[in-house]
């Protein structure tokens, strides 16, 4: 038997593969260099060009570029008018920012459980958690697969809730032919280097709603406006005059970052195609292995996948997830786990959230591992990943006597 490297065998490869990596080429470098010697490093033409292009790409009216995905979520919560006493329903199987943004505005996150096969928030569980304090839903397109937009929209319409989509994983995905970014009341994106396209740090919010757009613009730049229509003290003294009309933050994206993202946006469709090819290859390989559970594909979603998750069927393996993770590392394949259910973190436990709130999310968490997925992986790289998984499964397969 071919022994796993952790048990003394030869690793499937010599160099380390990580679960995600940015793809930067000469055009990206050129785009950034040009801005560095231009007149504007921030608040310049690249930011507005980026906002126009994101809105056009998503097929929606407005986009506001911000400094990161977390700032995007914070601005969306501000624009939604969320305040202390309000409840917001979200998923625990996500990065902490999806719920932290609710706490930033003094409101209360309420965790709904996820679908056991797709791992996306379950609309029935959203419904079950609605109270007369519920004001909004923050749904996460987990791994890039679209949430059940029609059902969530219907629930939000029925109960008069604002639908915020955390699409940090999902730029480039579509639901029934409509691009993510055009579906919810507000959609938040992240452009961190592990995400599909990057500006180093960066984020954006898209919306079709003019009122939300005005509030998003104010929220990300100190609550300050140059727009005479919004000013209270008109006529004003001169062209230098601006007004602060609400309390906002400095969450602006720079022109340097915008230029990088504009260049990355050009390659999004190519990145999507490469990611889809790798996902298909992994799905074909892992669906043959009973010890591995493959995340269910959502037929309504044309997905630009951000993460590829394998879930270990721990009843069929003589190892823990930790042992599997360490065995993969020894093969030189560095996995990650996405995510610890948010409310299990000490900070949330101290706020009073308890284990057992979302049994599906907790059960899924126990067996998941994210394996390498990014466009520059070679055929050999993905072969190595599959070989490593097979080798480790073979070694730890539970053989009934
Ligand atoms: C990455 C991520 C965020 C936060 O984005 P940053 O740009 O890192 O602030 C929010 N939600 C989800 C689901 C994410 O994956």
**186-197 pLDDT, tens digit each:** 999 999 999 999
Q: How confident is the model at residue 207 (pLDDT cuts 50, 70, 90)?
A: very high
Which among 97, 205, 261, 305 is the best mutation to test ligand 1's pocket, defined by most ligand atoms within 8 Å of the CB? 97
Which among 19, 102, 103, 168 is the best mutation to test ligand 1's pocket, defined by most ligand atoms within 8 Å of the CB? 168
Residue 380 has pLDDT above 90, yes or no: yes
Residue identifier of the C-alpha nearest atom 7 of ligand 1: 69
Q: Cα(190) to centroid of ligand 1, in Å? A: 5
Q: How confident is the model at residue 236 (pLDDT cuts 50, 70, 90)?
A: confident
Atom of ligand 1 nearest to the CA of 192: 7
User: What's the rounded mean pLDDT across residues 2-13?
Assistant: 96
Q: Cα(112) to centroid of ligand 1, in Å? A: 19
Atom of ligand 1 nearest to the CA of 94: 13
Q: Cα(166) to centroid of ligand 1, in Å? A: 8
Q: How much is the pTM? A: 0.97
Residue 400 has pLDDT above 70, yes or no: no
Where do the structural domains in the chain lie, given as residue ranges? 5-21+268-396, 26-265
Q: How far is CA 158 from CA 76, 130, 132, 376, in A?
A: 21, 11, 13, 44
3 state DSSP class of 181 = coil
Question: Do residues 43 and 226 touch, judged by C-beta distance below 8 A?
Answer: no
Atom of ligand 1 nearest to the CA of 202: 7
Residue 235: asked if its preceding bond is cis (omega within 30°), the reply is yes
Q: Cα(164) to centroid of ligand 1, in Å? A: 14
3 state DSSP class of 203 = strand
Mean pLDDT of the chain, nearest integer:
97
Which among 192, 198, 306, 361 is the best mutation to test ligand 1's pocket, defined by most ligand atoms within 8 Å of the CB? 192
Q: Cα(399) to centroid of ligand 1, in Å? A: 41
Which among 67, 75, 95, 144 is the best mutation to test ligand 1's pocket, defined by most ligand atoms within 8 Å of the CB? 95
Q: Alpha-carbon distance 210 to 381, whole Å?
A: 46
Q: Cα(70) to centroid of ligand 1, in Å? A: 6
179: phi then psi, degrees, rounded to nearest 5: -65, 140
**123-150 pLDDT, tens digit each:** 999 999 999 999 999 999 999 999 999 9
**45-85 pLDDT, tens digit each:** 999 999 999 999 999 999 999 999 999 999 999 999 999 99
Share of the chain above pLDDT 70, in %: 99
User: What's the rounded mean pLDDT across residues 342-366?
Assistant: 98
Q: Cα(11) to centroid of ligand 1, in Å? A: 33
Q: Residues lining ligand 1, judged by CB closer than 6 Å? A: 68-70, 94-95, 97-98, 140, 166, 168-169, 190, 192, 203
Q: Cα(85) to centroid of ligand 1, in Å? A: 25
| pLDDT of 3 | 95
Share of the chain above pLDDT 90, in %: 95
The total number of residues shown for the chain amounts to 401
| pLDDT of 1 | 66
Atom of ligand 1 nearest to the CA of 71: 9
Question: Do residues 269 and 258 touch, judged by C-beta distance below 8 A?
Answer: no
How many Cα atoms within 13 Å fall on the side-chain side of residue 216?
A: 27
Q: Alpha-carbon distance 202 to 265, whole Å?
A: 13
Tell me which fold the domain 5-21+268-396 belongs to. Answer: 3.90.1150
**264-277 pLDDT, tens digit each:** 999 999 999 999 99
Q: Cα(204) to centroid of ligand 1, in Å? A: 11
User: What's the rounded mean pLDDT across residues 166-179?
Assistant: 98
Q: Which residues contact 47 (CB under 8 A, 6 or more apart)?
A: 65, 252, 253, 254, 255, 258
User: What's the rounded mean pLDDT across residues 287-311?
Assistant: 98
251: phi then psi, degrees, rounded to nearest 5: -115, 30
Task: Write down the residue that tokens 């706490």 correspond to.
Answer: 103
Q: Alpha-carbon distance 108 to 366, whole Å?
A: 26
Q: How confident is the model at residue 181 (pLDDT cuts 50, 70, 90)?
A: very high
When the candidates are 3.40.50.2000, 1.20.1440.130, 3.40.640.10, 3.40.309.10, the CATH number that belongs to 26-265 is 3.40.640.10
Q: Cα(168) to centroid of ligand 1, in Å? A: 5
| pLDDT of 399 | 76
| pLDDT of 401 | 55
């Amino acid at each position: 038997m071919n022994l796993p490297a952790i048990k003394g065998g030869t690793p499937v490869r010599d160099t380390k593969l990580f679960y995600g990596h940015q793809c930067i080429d000469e055009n990206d470098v050129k785009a950034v260099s040009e801005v560095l010697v231009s007149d504007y490093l921030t608040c310049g033409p690249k930011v507005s060009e980026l906002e126009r292009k994101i809105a056009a790409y998503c097929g929606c009216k407005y986009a506001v570029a911000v400094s990161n995905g977390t700032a995007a979520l914070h601005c969306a919560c501000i624009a939604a008018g969320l305040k202390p006493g309000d409840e917001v329903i979200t998923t625990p199987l996500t990065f902490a920012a999806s719920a932290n943004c609710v706490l930033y505005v003094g409101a209360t996150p309420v965790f709904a459980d996820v679908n056991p096969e797709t791992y996306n928030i379950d609309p029935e569980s959203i419904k079950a958690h609605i109270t007369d304090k519920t004001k909004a839903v923050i749904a996460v397109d987990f791994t890039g697969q679209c949430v059940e937009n029609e059902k969530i929209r219907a629930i939000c319409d029925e109960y008069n809730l604002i639908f915020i989509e955390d699409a940090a994983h999902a730029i480039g995905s579509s639901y029934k032919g409509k691009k993510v970014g055009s579906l919810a009341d507000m959609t938040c994106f992240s452009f961190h280097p592990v995400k599909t396209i990057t500006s180093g740090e960066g984020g954006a919010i898209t919306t079709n709603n003019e009122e939300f757009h005005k509030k998003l613009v104010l929220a990300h730049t100190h609550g300050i406006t140059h727009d005479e229509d919004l000013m209270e003290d008109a006529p004003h003294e001169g062209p230098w005059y601006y007004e602060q009309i609400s309390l906002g933050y400095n969450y602006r994206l720079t022109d340097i970052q915008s230029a990088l993202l504009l260049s990355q946006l050009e390659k999004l469709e190519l990145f999507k195609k490469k990611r889809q090819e790798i996902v298909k290859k992994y799905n074909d390989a892992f669906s043959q292995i009973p010890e591995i559970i493959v995340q269910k594909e959502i037929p309504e979603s044309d997905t630009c996948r951000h993460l590829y998750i394998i879930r270990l069927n721990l009843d069929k393996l003589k190892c823990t997830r930790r042992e599997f993770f360490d065995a993969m590392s020894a093969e030189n394949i560095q996995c990650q786990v996405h995510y610890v259910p948010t409310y299990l973190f000490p900070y949330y436990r101290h706020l009073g959230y308890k284990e057992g709130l979302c049994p599906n999310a907790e059960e899924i968490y126990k067996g998941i591992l994210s394996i390498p997925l990014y466009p520059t992986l070679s055929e050999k790289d993905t072969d190595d990943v599959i070989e490593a998984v097979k080798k480790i499964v073979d070694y730890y397969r539970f053989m009934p006597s």
